[in-house]
Structure 1
């Protein structure tokens, strides 16, 4: 049996209070400390590598964890944050209508929920076929959530406002996926 640990990046700085998207926002001091604690938690998990989004907050989280457990980090574009037309928008404006995050795809461009889910699944199944050992997949909230939904056989939400927050990974949380042959077992979220 092999394990894949879905890790959401830790807390980052956002002094301009913007919708971050793929912008390069550094981890906060709290986020760096949290990543070190996560690295310590992984010490006995026999991890062979970490896959990560190259967006700064994931990259930094993955690199701090990798230093703790002495494994390589492999960046993959399929793990990137969702490409949104509203990247850089003020969060106060965004919160007036959260659903525009995906509803503007047709008019302004960007990725749909399905686009993100397809690329995350493509990455995951490729890793399942290729990897022998245990791995960490460090990515972003929506991508990890959409992957989770596919693996447990649930539909994508119709709107962002209908996301089940009890199933959505907060920053710095981990969800273990066990793979044995064709059997995939998805665990619950662990707060570290």
Structure 2
């Protein structure tokens, strides 16, 4: 049995409210760092110590992983496959009014792909590949080994929808993937046996929708 915990990064410092996507340099707020500390304490004090730590290359993910890595004295491996989804609106303030502008409407022609960003299926495939690589690495650590991966909301949600056999097309407002939350996948060899979700920072969540996350 192996378990891979997909952790969403903490709150990001984004005062202008843009869709920051893969733009470098967006780090955590003070509250985001508190979320990261809580994530670190959660896994450092868990019954099973994580045998591998992996993070997206983006600053917010690396900062979220940092307290756990420090607590365990373990290195963090960067994996581009767990990075945020690509989006053609990156760097902009996205609103209903802006989306209805003629230059933007053409990007919305097919929400099933979606036409404005990285295809959902492509996100699933790269997340599944990253988890498969981790399972191979964890096999060397004996039974019941676990890994922690800090990623982003949409990639984590895509991995969960695919694992649970649900449609990938969805309403973004209904994603169950709060900041610094944990979505856990448990496998028996290569067979998925369970998916669970835990919101570690329910009391620290911002009271409004978070742009760019």
Q: Same fold (TM over 0.5)?
A: yes
Q: CA RMSD in A?
A: 2.6
What is the rounded CA distance, in whole Å, between the counterparts of 1:150 and 1:80 in structure 2?
A: 17
The aligned residue for residue 125 of structure 2 is 118
Q: Is the 8 A contact 1:20 1:87 kept in 2?
A: yes
The aligned residue for residue 21 of structure 1 is 21
Higher alpha-carbon deviation: 182-191 or 83-92: 182-191
Q: Is the 8 A contact 1:10 1:27 kept in 2?
A: yes
Q: Is the 8 A contact 1:46 1:134 kept in 2?
A: yes
Higher alpha-carbon deviation: 75-84 or 130-139: 130-139
Scaled by the length of structure 2, the TM-score of the pair is: 0.77
Bigger helix share: 1
What is the rounded CA distance, in whole Å, between the counterparts of 1:101 and 1:31 in structure 2?
A: 35
Higher alpha-carbon deviation: 85-94 or 41-50: 85-94
1:145 aligns with 2:145: no
5+ long unaligned stretches in structure 1: none
Scaled by the length of structure 1, the TM-score of the pair is: 0.85
The aligned residue for residue 195 of structure 2 is 187
1:133-192 Cα distance to aligned partner (Å, 9 max, x none):
3100110010001111111222211xx5x2472x53111100222122243233332111
What is the rounded CA distance, in whole Å, between the counterparts of 2:150 and 2:35 in structure 1?
A: 14
* Cα distance, 1:52 vs structure 2: 0.9
Aligned residues: 186
CA pair 21-3 structure 1, distance change in 2 beyond 3 A: same
Secondary structure at the residue paired with 1:7? strand
CA pair 95-29 structure 1, distance change in 2 beyond 3 A: farther
CA pair 95-122 structure 1, distance change in 2 beyond 3 A: farther
Q: Is the 8 A contact 2:160 2:195 kept in 1?
A: no
Q: Is the 8 A contact 2:54 2:78 kept in 1?
A: yes
Equivalent positions of 1:5-154 (< 5 A) are 5-23=5-23, 24-43=25-44, 44=46, 45-92=48-95, 96=99, 100=108, 103=111, 110-132=117-139, 133-154=145-166
